[in-house]
């Protein structure tokens, strides 16, 4: 039967309005049920999602390779609610949300080479650059935090920005220049390489939620290079809103655009245990959501990623659900209100 408009399936859909609502756990898992697109076909969309299922640069527990799939699956809930209710009110913010105004594409996962970090990095950079050159915001789903390094390079090259600021939400600074065990390139070195690249500088980097342990001379190092590091002590003392506003101001000053990277271990492991290097005393879910809501109001932000979601360590799926919530919160504040 070639006449699809008169097919039995079409007749069923026409006769049952609920047939046009796809349940959150049904269908193909794209982010927010967005249409699938090749990176070359993305032009002037609001945002395009890419996955980087790679965790070959971790120093502790692997598992972040499964993050992109889990984040996509979790995001289906918001698409379902929006379709079912015909629009939404975000009860956290009191704002009306209309996802139909969000022009979003899901470009699938970049090619990864599990035993070849350099080739994987080239792949991430090329795909992010292609999306960015299409005048579209790249949204990268990790993967371990090393993936942020090539993503920043791809964003800078695709946008032709000379200088990129970085806002990093994280438990760890990732400023290790060299490790006797892991070498120069692993997920604890990504910020170091970004800040010493041609695209950025430590003076354009701000970090939020840092805790745990660093080298004995870390604060002297931060002062010397101009790194803005807001620890969890600063968050408790000043409040998350004030810290985030200061962080984005630093990253946006004298830069062409800002890249936001959110390591899920920035959130307290009692809330988000599904990550490779958990560290107690982190952001609450409320604070993490506030971070993304605030960042979503800043036009300086041109790219975004969420890293280190490792679903095997959270059988409740709460970590991937929160991760999806964080990304959705940013996208709706930026594009769907």
Domain presence at residue 10: no
Does residue 141 contact residue 52 with C-beta atoms inside 8 Å? yes
**Taking 60 as the threshold, does the pLDDT of residue 2 lie above it?**
no
Output 71 or 188, whichever has higher pLDDT: 71
pLDDT at 79 (0 to 100): 83
Tell me the CATH number at 110. 3.40.800.10
**Taking 70 as the threshold, does the pLDDT of residue 3 lie above it?**
no
Domain presence at residue 45: yes
pLDDT at 105 (0 to 100): 97
**For residue 329, what is the enclosing H or E element?**
helix 318-335
Q: Which domain holds residue 270?
A: 36-335
Please say whether the dihedral angle defined by the alpha carbons of residues 205, 138, 76 and 83, taken in this order, is positive or negative: positive
Using one digit for the tens of pLDDT, what is the confidence trace for 272-299? 999 999 999 999 999 999 999 999 999 9
Q: Can you tell me the distance from the alpha carbon of 94 to that of 333, in angstroms, rounded to the nearest whole number?
A: 12
Q: For Cα atoms 181, 182, 185, give the angle at the middle one, nearest 5 degrees.
A: 155
**Taking 60 as the threshold, does the pLDDT of residue 70 lie above it?**
yes
pLDDT at 9 (0 to 100): 87
Domain presence at residue 208: yes
Percent above pLDDT 70 for the chain:
98
No. of helices (H) and no. of strands (E), the chain: 10, 10
Query: In the predicted model, what is the mean pLDDT of residues 92-114?
Result: 93
Lowest mean pLDDT among 2-11, 145-154, 173-182: 2-11
Using one digit for the tens of pLDDT, what is the confidence trace for 184-197? 988 988 999 999 99
Domain presence at residue 313: yes
Domain presence at residue 17: no
Q: Which residues pair with 145 in a beta bridge?
A: none
Per-residue tokens: 37: 């697109």
Domain presence at residue 14: no
Query: In the predicted model, what is the mean pLDDT of residues 104-126?
Result: 96
What angle, 0 to 180 degrees and rounded to 10, lies between the N-to-C axes of helices 67-85 and 318-335?
Answer: 60
**Taking 50 as the threshold, does the pLDDT of residue 1 lie above it?**
no
Using one digit for the tens of pLDDT, what is the confidence trace for 12-26? 888 998 887 888 888
Per-residue tokens: 29: 């898992």
Average pLDDT of the chain is 94
Domain presence at residue 12: no
Does residue 125 contact residue 199 with C-beta atoms inside 8 Å? no
**CA Rg value for the chain:** 20
Q: How many domains are contained in the chain?
A: 1
Domain presence at residue 161: yes
Per-residue tokens: 76: 């289906």
φ, ψ at 211 (rounded to 5°): -160, -165
pLDDT band at 110 (very low <50, low <70, confident <90, very high): very high
Q: Can you tell me the distance from the alpha carbon of 182 to that of 239, in angstroms, rounded to the nearest whole number?
A: 35
- Strand stretches in 232-300, DSSP E: 257-263
**Taking 80 as the threshold, does the pLDDT of residue 209 lie above it?**
yes
DSSP designation for 139? E
Q: Taking Cα atoms as reference points, which of 210, 309, 199 lies closest to residue 259? A: 199
Using one digit for the tens of pLDDT, what is the confidence trace for 131-150? 999 999 999 999 999 999 99
- Ramachandran quadrant class, 216 (left: phi over 0; alpha: psi -120 to 50; beta: rest): alpha
Q: Can you tell me the distance from the alpha carbon of 138 to that of 48, in angstroms, rounded to the nearest whole number?
A: 5
Query: In the predicted model, what is the mean pLDDT of residues 19-40?
Result: 90
Q: Can you tell me the distance from the alpha carbon of 299 to that of 257, in angstroms, rounded to the nearest whole number?
A: 9
């Amino acid at each position: 039967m070639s006449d699809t408009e008169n097919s039995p399936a079409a007749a069923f859909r026409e006769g049952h309005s609920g047939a046009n609502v796809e349940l959150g756990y049904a269908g193909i898992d794209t982010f927010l049920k967005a249409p699938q697109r090749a990176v070359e076909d993305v032009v002037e969309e609001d945002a395009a999602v890419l996955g980087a299922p790679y965790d070959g640069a971790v120093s502790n527990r692997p598992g972040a390779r499964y993050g992109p799939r889990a984040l996509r699956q979790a995001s289906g809930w918001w698409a379902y609610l929006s379709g079912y209710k015909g629009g939404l009110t975000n009860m956290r913010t009191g704002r009306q949300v209309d996802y139909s105004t969000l022009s979003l594409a899901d470009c699938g996962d970049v090619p990864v080479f599990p035993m070849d970090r350099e080739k994987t990095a080239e792949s991430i950079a090329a795909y992010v650059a292609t999306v960015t050159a299409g005048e579209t915001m790249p949204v990268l789903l990790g993967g371990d935090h090393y993936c942020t390094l090539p993503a920043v390079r791809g964003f800078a090259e695709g946008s032709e920005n000379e200088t990129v600021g970085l806002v990093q939400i994280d438990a760890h600074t990732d400023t290790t220049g060299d490790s006797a065990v892991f070498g120069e390139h692993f997920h604890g070195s990504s910020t170091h390489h970004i800040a010493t690249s041609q695209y950025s500088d430590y003076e354009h980097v701000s970090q939020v939620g840092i805790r745990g342990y660093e080298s004995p001379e870390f604060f002297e190092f931060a002062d010397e290079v101009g790194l803005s590091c807001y620890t969890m002590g600063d968050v408790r003392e000043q409040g998350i809103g004030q810290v985030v506003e200061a962080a984005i101001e630093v990253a946006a000053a004298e830069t062409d655009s800002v890249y936001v990277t959110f390591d899920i271990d920035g959130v307290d492991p009692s809330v988000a245990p599904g990550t490779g290097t958990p560290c107690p005393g982190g952001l609450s879910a409320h604070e993490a959501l506030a971070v993304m809501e605030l960042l979503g109001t800043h036009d300086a932000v041109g790219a975004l990623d969420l890293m280190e979601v490792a679903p095997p360590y959270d059988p409740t799926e709460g970590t991937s659900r929160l991760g999806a919530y964080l990304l959705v919160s940013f996208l709706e504040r930026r594009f769907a209100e």
